[in-house]
Amino acid sequence: MNRIKLLFFATLRDRAGTKSMDIEIPSDLTIQGLKDKLAQDYPNLAQSMSSVIVTINREYAFDEAIVPQNAEIALFPPVSGG
pLDDT per residue as tens digits for the range 19-34? 999 999 999 999 999 9
What residue type is assigned to position 30 of the chain? T
Its CATH architecture, for the domain 2-76, is Roll (3.10)
Tell whether the model's pLDDT for residue 80 goes beyond 90. no
| CA–CA distance, 30 with 35 (Å, rounded to integer) | 9
| CA–CA distance, 6 with 72 (Å, rounded to integer) | 6
Tell whether the model's pLDDT for residue 82 goes beyond 70. no
Tell whether the model's pLDDT for residue 63 goes beyond 80. yes
Residue ranges of domains in the chain? 2-76
Give, in order, the Cα–Cα distances in Å from 76 to each of 19, 26, 55, 58, 67.
11, 22, 9, 12, 17
Asked if 38 contacts 30 with a C-beta cutoff of 8 angstroms, the reply is no
